A and B are shown apart, each in its own frame.
Chain A
């Protein structure tokens, strides 16, 4: 799987958009970009994923650059409950069609009142 690079921490003011970057310069053509988050020591929670096109759901938007070497997760109106560690994961099939998720250290997002 392609390696990802994320800043270790970021701050965001409550109500503002949080933009979390991720570099994945070695991504290959069949690999997806996934974002998960982990609030305190709870189980990680899926946020969004994409292959080439930008994606949006009720939680966030995912912007993937045209060359697919980087992406940005956008939380449009951050709240205090969005304070968490955010993981960017790039993964593709690994034998018999299964995908693996390899979690790095992520970005600790702190939403400040």
Chain B
């Protein structure tokens, strides 16, 4: 089954404790992206990757890192989480998102709470 998976689905952590949220897709998609969703603010893009070893900042990249060493994986790294990073996080992928037939497929979400 074609899908985007994220782990963990729920995480409660403390300020400053490094964490990684994994994202994996099995559709051989080139383009992957991370979003965060906060009440009243909609979804905002954190980082995106157009292919292996190619990443770029989205609209709210501060406090986050990403890597794209393999095509299928795009982990989101919080080196020193802070309470303002408490949010619902979504990973997404698409074939290229550069043609009229590309759409983004979203993972189930990771609810992160930073105390």
Contacts and interface: CB of A to CB of B under 8 A. Distances in A.
Contact of A100 (B41, B45, B109): B45
Given A98-B98, A102-B59, A44 B42 contact: no
Interface string A88-107: 00000100111111111110
Contact of B48 (A42, A100, A106): A100
B108 A42 contact: yes
A112 to B, nearest CB: 24
Interface residues of A, number: 24
A97 B99 CA distance: 9
B102 interface: yes
A106 B100 contact: no
Interface string A34-57: 101000011111100101000000
A99 B98 CA distance: 6
B35 interface: yes
Given A44-B90, A49-B103, A102 B108 contact: no
Contacts of A36: 104
B98 A43 contact: no
A90 to B, nearest CB: 14
A98 B33 CA distance: 12
Interface of A: 32, 34, 36, 41-46, 49, 51, 87, 93, 96-106
